[in-house]
Chains A and B, each alone.
Chain A
Amino acid sequence: MHKRIALLLALVLLSVFLTACYDSREIDDYAYVVMMGIEHGVSDRIRLTLQIPEFTNTNMSDSGGGGGGNGGDDEERAKKENITVEAPSIFAAVAEADTFIPKTINFMHLNAVVVSEDFASSGEMKEFVVNLLRYHEIRRNTSIIVCKGSARDFVMAARPYLGSLVTETMEELISKADITGYFPKLTISDFAIKVKSTYTQALTIYAALNKGDNFIEKGQYYTGGFKAPSDFYAGDMPRTGGQEIELLGTAVFELGNMVGKLTGFETQMVELTLGNLKRTSLTIPDPLEPELYIPIEIKELEPPFTHVDIKGEKPMIHTTLSLEGEIVTIPSGINYESPDMKGIVEEAVAQHIADGIKRTFAKCQTLKTDVFEYGTEAVRHFWTIQEWENYNWRQKFSEASLMLHVDFTLRRTGRFIETAPVQEEKK
């Protein structure tokens, strides 16, 4: 028995020597970075902005606080620290920050990396962002955002909204992508993989600060025609109130450089094609009374089917989308529920989606970026990597033609079985 006890003690001591407590740190000894902004520096190569929240119990009732750095009067409420350091590299900046932050900077809870549009377009981004992944504290599922304007402003504007934490706010905001499809849900990992890939191109979330400049409070009433919802870029939304951060659209990269961006509507079309959207809403003009609009809830019936035909000189892309949907309202009062009329709506929706996709496809062809990931289908026809690389998919994609088939079925008509028109003076 004594020997066994000795053995046990040996094991215990062994475990101590193997691990020791050297990497044990108290949970409150760290400064947890929740958001990181990268852009061009003035005094050095990059300017790194870190947002470090101060975890206290007092920020529970925060609903309308301002940013810590630039908020002013609400500074007390949302306690957070924004640090901006200029340095030759990210980790040099972190090391420099350690000289004036008492707690150890820790990236384990980093929520989003924000890169300014200038920095993304300049081609330096890939070097910094891809290499972030090498560091053990960075999670691969950290979101990546390209923002219009200064990344520093963006990080400073990020603040808890209807919640107590910036991370919560950002996570919830980003998870909205599953419902609206107005922006993609992309992480550093996605970016790093795609930026190295030969059959697809990197994308990031596109975001901007919207300070309400597009909101015109008084003026003439709108008389223009139908505009698809969110068919504009981040920062352009006519709104006021809410938080300044606005995620809308996609930043499109070619060879690691940002070359363009997609609007919210275009992003929605891309997401539909990729099968990422299980449910979304769409608004189309009423096919019989175009001045009125029909909002429709769309669901995916079957995963999209794609086939790329590379036999000809130019590749032919065949895509079939199977969707179903439910009418939310019919303002015109036309009885679209009846079997005869149903087809009209179905056709209109299918046409609307097909138009949107074709428009986006054409736009991407001009940017030479295959955001639809057709490359992953095309690559199947090649036996070796060399053959594929010689095929030069980026070039071929820009010449490809799209054979799109959208299949839309109206399953339900909301809670009304039959529409009776609202009484009007003369019809």
Chain B
Amino acid sequence: MLKKLKKLFIYESPSNQEREFRFPENPGETATWDIYRGKQENLEKYMDNSGSGKDQDINNDNDSEYEGKGSEHNKKDDRSNNDSQNNRDEKKEKSKKNDEQSDDRDTRDKSDNQADESESNEREANEREDNEANSEKRISENDNDHENEVNTPRVIIKTLRSHKPITVEEMIKESMRKKREKFKNSKAGNNGKNQKDDRNEDAPKLKNVSHSLKENIEYLENLYKIPANKDLIIRKFNIARKIPACLVCVDGMIDRRIVIQFALPELMDESNFKDYDPGKEYILDYIERNVLTIDQLVRMKVFDDINPQIVSGLTALFIEGCDECIIMESRGFEKRSVTHPVTETVISGPQEGFTEALRTNITLVRRIVKSENLVTEFEFLSKRNNFLCAILYMDGITNPRLVDEVKRRLKNLEIDYISGSGMLEQLIEDKTNAPFQQIIATERPDRVASFLMEGKVVIICEGTPFALAMPITFFDLFQTSEDSNLRWQYGSFLRIIRLLGFLLATFLPGMYTALILFHQEMIPTSLLSSIVASRAPVPFPTVLEILLMEFSFELIREGGIRVPGVTGNTLGIIGALILGQAAVQAGLVSPVLIIVVAVSGLGNFTVPSYSMSLTIRIIRIALILFGAMGGFYGISAAFTILMAFTLNMKSFGVPFFAPIAPFTRSNKDKIIRGPISEQTYRTDFLNTLDKKRMATEPRGWMRGDGGAENDQGR
């Protein structure tokens, strides 16, 4: 017991065994990250290292399984190719790897660079497929090729897993740790097996795009439970009055204009196919080049890749005799327009808030951070609802190990359903039981931009108007974008007010209880007289009185959110007024107490972060109880326990009170915000690649040389 007490209060430097995420201490350690930037030499290095025979075996097994089916197709059509692609296992791996690519295809607003990249990738893929197509003899070689390519991401995952943290529990004995690891291993093994089983079960459903349009349609109807399911539209028609084809899309998710104006008419029009010579040209190539006037087209042949696209609102074109389909960008679902941020209103500064549409949100950020270094990576997270999120970071500023860690957490989620950023936040945070949040959610693009420029990683999720930024410290929870938009005096003033509000909201009711019950000598006599006079008709003990009032205040607040529309606001005001007034007149509550509760409630509203304000409310209740039990001693005890928990907290490796405890170099930007021109350095604890944010004197015009050499002091 004592040992554990010691562990809780005394800081111990982390042992070697602790394998929690930390930042790289030398640049060499960041090499792992370079894979993600696609540096060829690193890829090769990892390919050389990858020799996991186990995975190869699995591939080979599966290959042989599917070979037979594939060969049947080959008999039907000479142009059939790459049976090895049938391998579901490979596809899984590939889809993981291709997520970035495919999402790039999905996106309309991508930058030119990315577009080029994805196109080149496609081209490569096509070439590769063509090569593979020709002979069955080469299958084994192809397999090897595939393995190399396929293994690359697999190896990455492995290297990542190698420093996967086993939840750091210093208090657990060594034996317990071993046991747990054993348990984990066995679990992992089971997972592998399960996956294999699933695969086998799914196997009959698994399919490439068939040459037969009828088969494709049957498969899709079976898959989407048509006719029971009314959402999927399968529009059968003839291309140029000759070739049977069909368009597949989900009703409501598509922009009808694209299908009606640019897909169907063009395809049906005979004149568009005057130059088409079936002997010379592959029809898909022809259509892609000459017929469809749509900006983004992708060819796919694996249904596992195709289906997520269809449900995301893209349109698939199947053509008789082709074992590929064309996926057209046609997303056009209803979405909310960009409006004021609701939860983070400011007076000065931009007034745009995020919406539910992921692409819009990324655009909002990109409009502020117009930089080629802003990298947006996409990741499908959940297994069943294909929840898409974007990871944003600044290449060259953000520490690669941080990005690495965020992606590791995201990639290793095994969950069916994620509804939004709130759920995701809980799944990737460090400590679930900690009192404070470890990831900040913001509704404001400008705030996201400043987080990015500071070197943090931001996750934007589909379907939520909130972006998640990490890692954070206590002080991030107090800052608003207004602080830096205003001159430093005003910004500092607002922050001090906010901090006072926080302190009042947390401590005032607890202190009041302690004062009333234990420390009457500390109240000035005149104040004492008013308190006593106001408490005279109250029949309850002070604790009950204050808890009652807090409870009704919470009721008003919670009820105000639920009450529809306009009545909500009035309920808040009227409820508080009438309830307070009536309670006082009925002699149930003393007026002084109402002031205390009201002030602490107001203080609570000054805290910009919603999660933080909830934390404060919980702590407040705890402090009231402790204050009622032990007076100021109780409050100090509660505060000590709280601080022991909080100081132990880390957000992605960053201690929660980072610039102060542990003390690191920082700008004057914690409580008092210094002038902008003095915010020279990026926060130290983020270990950014570029430490300096600006020149030592960013205002070049103030220097003697008139700003002739503004080299950011480097």
Where the two chains meet, the residues of A that have a C-beta atom closer than 8 Å to any C-beta of B are 1, 3-4, 7-8, 10-12, 15-16, 18-21, 23-28, 30, 32, 34, 53, 55-57, 106, 108-109, 111, 137, 139, 164-165, 167-168
Contact B533–A55 (Cβ < 8 Å): yes
Contact B533–A56 (Cβ < 8 Å): yes
- CA distance in complex: A164, B433 (Å): 51
Within 8 A of A (CB), among B424-456: 433
Residues on A with C-beta less than 8 A from B529 are 53, 55, 164-165
Given A28-B535, A28-B536, are A109 and B528 neighbors across the interface (CB < 8 Å)?
A: yes
B544-586 near A? 1/0 per residue, CB < 8 Å: 0000000000000000000000000000000000000000000
B643 within 8 A of A: no
Contact A11–B525 (Cβ < 8 Å): no
A168 — nearest CB in chain B belongs to which residue?
Answer: B526
B4 within 8 A of A: yes
Contact A57–B542 (Cβ < 8 Å): no
Partner of B630, one of A1, A3, A7, A16: A16
Where the two chains meet, the residues of B that have a C-beta atom closer than 8 Å to any C-beta of A are 1, 4-5, 8, 171, 433, 516-518, 520-521, 523, 525-526, 528-536, 541-542, 626, 628-631, 633-634, 637, 641
Partner of A165, one of B526, B542, B637: B526
- CA distance in complex: A348, B584 (Å): 64
Residues on B with C-beta less than 8 A from A10 are 1
Extra A-B contacts (19), CB below 8 Å, given A24-B628, A164-B526: A4-B171, A7-B8, A11-B637, A15-B626, A15-B633, A15-B637, A19-B629, A20-B629, A23-B518, A25-B517, A26-B516, A26-B542, A27-B517, A32-B528, A55-B528, A55-B536, A57-B530, A108-B520, A167-B525
B518 CB, min distance to chain A CBs, angstroms: 6
A25 — nearest CB in chain B belongs to which residue?
Answer: B517
Contact A106–B526 (Cβ < 8 Å): no
A113 CB, min distance to chain B CBs, angstroms: 16
Residues on A with C-beta less than 8 A from B530 are 55, 57
Number of residue pairs A-B, CB distance < 8 angstroms? 96
B528 — nearest CB in chain A belongs to which residue?
Answer: A109
Could you show 28 A-B contacts with beta carbons less than 8 Å apart? A3-B4, A3-B171, A4-B8, A11-B641, A15-B626, A15-B634, A19-B633, A19-B634, A20-B629, A21-B517, A24-B631, A26-B542, A27-B516, A28-B532, A30-B520, A32-B532, A55-B530, A55-B533, A55-B536, A57-B533, A57-B534, A109-B521, A111-B525, A137-B521, A139-B521, A164-B529, A165-B525, A168-B525
Residues on A with C-beta less than 8 A from B525 are 32, 34, 109, 111, 165, 167-168
- CA distance in complex: A7, B433 (Å): 14
Residues on A with C-beta less than 8 A from B531 are 27
B642 CB, min distance to chain A CBs, angstroms: 10
- CA distance in complex: A11, B630 (Å): 13
Residues on A with C-beta less than 8 A from B534 are 57
A9 CB, min distance to chain B CBs, angstroms: 11
Residues on B with C-beta less than 8 A from A53 are 529
Contact B526–A56 (Cβ < 8 Å): no
Contact B541–A26 (Cβ < 8 Å): yes
- CA distance in complex: A139, B525 (Å): 13
B536 — nearest CB in chain A belongs to which residue?
Answer: A28
A8 CB, min distance to chain B CBs, angstroms: 6
Partner of B520, one of A20, A56, A106, A111: A106
- CA distance in complex: A137, B8 (Å): 38
A141 CB, min distance to chain B CBs, angstroms: 12
Residues on A with C-beta less than 8 A from B641 are 8, 11-12
Contact B518–A24 (Cβ < 8 Å): yes
In the A-B complex, the 7 residue pairs with the smallest Cβ-Cβ separation, listed nearest first, are: A108-B521, A55-B532, A19-B630, A55-B529, A24-B517, A167-B525, A55-B533
- CA distance in complex: A21, B531 (Å): 21
Residues on B with C-beta less than 8 A from A55 are 528-530, 532-533, 536
A56 — nearest CB in chain B belongs to which residue?
Answer: B533
Contact A19–B631 (Cβ < 8 Å): yes
B172 — nearest CB in chain A belongs to which residue?
Answer: A3
Contact B526–A167 (Cβ < 8 Å): yes
A34 — nearest CB in chain B belongs to which residue?
Answer: B525
Residues on B with C-beta less than 8 A from A168 are 525-526
B714 CB, min distance to chain A CBs, angstroms: 46
A222 CB, min distance to chain B CBs, angstroms: 41
Residues on B with C-beta less than 8 A from A109 are 520-521, 525, 528
Residues on A with C-beta less than 8 A from B628 are 21, 24
- CA distance in complex: A69, B528 (Å): 23
Residues on A with C-beta less than 8 A from B637 are 11, 15
Residues on B with C-beta less than 8 A from A16 are 629-630
Contact A15–B629 (Cβ < 8 Å): yes
B541 — nearest CB in chain A belongs to which residue?
Answer: A26
B522 CB, min distance to chain A CBs, angstroms: 9
Residues on B with C-beta less than 8 A from A32 are 525, 528, 532
A137 — nearest CB in chain B belongs to which residue?
Answer: B521
A20 CB, min distance to chain B CBs, angstroms: 8
Contact B532–A27 (Cβ < 8 Å): yes
Residues on B with C-beta less than 8 A from A18 are 630, 633
Residues on B with C-beta less than 8 A from A12 are 641
Q: Which of A26, A109, A165 has the most CB of B within 10 A?
A: A26
- CA distance in complex: A16, B8 (Å): 20
A27 — nearest CB in chain B belongs to which residue?
Answer: B516
Residues on A with C-beta less than 8 A from B536 are 28, 55-56
A386 CB, min distance to chain B CBs, angstroms: 41
Q: Which of A12, A53, A106 has the most CB of B within 10 A?
A: A12
B540 — nearest CB in chain A belongs to which residue?
Answer: A26
B570 CB, min distance to chain A CBs, angstroms: 31
Residues on B with C-beta less than 8 A from A8 are 641
- CA distance in complex: A109, B520 (Å): 9
Q: Which of B525, B526, B628, B641 has the most CB of A within 10 A?
A: B525
Residues on A with C-beta less than 8 A from B532 are 27-28, 32, 55
A111 — nearest CB in chain B belongs to which residue?
Answer: B525
A65 CB, min distance to chain B CBs, angstroms: 16
A139 CB, min distance to chain B CBs, angstroms: 7
- CA distance in complex: A15, B629 (Å): 8
Residues on B with C-beta less than 8 A from A28 are 532, 535-536
Residues on B with C-beta less than 8 A from A108 are 520-521
A170 — nearest CB in chain B belongs to which residue?
Answer: B525
A107 — nearest CB in chain B belongs to which residue?
Answer: B521
Residues on B with C-beta less than 8 A from A23 are 518
- CA distance in complex: A12, B634 (Å): 9
- CA distance in complex: A20, B534 (Å): 27
B618 CB, min distance to chain A CBs, angstroms: 14
